[in-house]
Amino acid sequence: MMVKLPAGKPGKGELLNADCPSREVLKRLTGRWSLLVLIALKQETLRFSALRRRIGGVSERMLAQTLRHMEEDGFIQRTAYEVVPPHVEYHLTPLGREAESRIAVLADWLENNLGRIMQHRSAAAGETAVGNSE
């Protein structure tokens, strides 16, 4: 079964197409933690534990997994120093920085408009409560 890309330039993805590999990448990029890793690494190179402290609520397992995936996709670079105790650092690659800048646009907007959104959500919840109990 061929994957048909509606107006395809080479290497160009189509997110609305279920068969497009961009879906896969999107999934990774918008995963619960990936995006936060990008933000956390925006300016500084960080060690595993520092990163973990920086990103509230992430477990060791998930952070490790997320970092592995992001390294695979080329967003971050992992540098391990062969010492004991181990010392591992993570920092953004050029690709990662490009992605981060786009993510930041969204993140900044979200942080600055959080009030508006929460407000709307409360209002919506109130209205629903009037008419039914869902």
By CB under 8 A, name the binding residues for a second copy. Answer: 10-23, 25-27, 29-30, 32, 35-36, 39-40, 54-57, 71-74, 95, 98-99, 102-103, 105-107, 109-118, 120-121, 124-125
25 binds, among a second copy, DNA, none (CB under 5 to 8 A by kind): a second copy
The Cα-based distances of 55 to 28, 63, 118 in angstroms read: 17, 9, 22
Nearest distance, CB of residue 83 and a second copy, angstroms = 21
Nearest distance, CB of residue 9 and a second copy, angstroms = 8
Question: In this structure, is the dihedral angle defined by the CA atoms of residues 93, 97, 99 and 104, taken in order, positive or negative?
Answer: positive
Summarize as ranges the residues that interact with DNA (CB under 7 A). 31-33, 47-50, 57-62, 64-65, 67-68, 78, 80, 84-88
Question: In this structure, is the dihedral angle defined by the CA atoms of residues 113, 114, 115 and 118, taken in order, positive or negative?
Answer: positive
Nearest distance, CB of residue 131 and DNA, angstroms = 13
39 binds, among DNA, a second copy, none (CB under 5 to 8 A by kind): a second copy
Nearest to 97 by CA among 74, 72, 65: 74
CA distance 90 to 82: 15
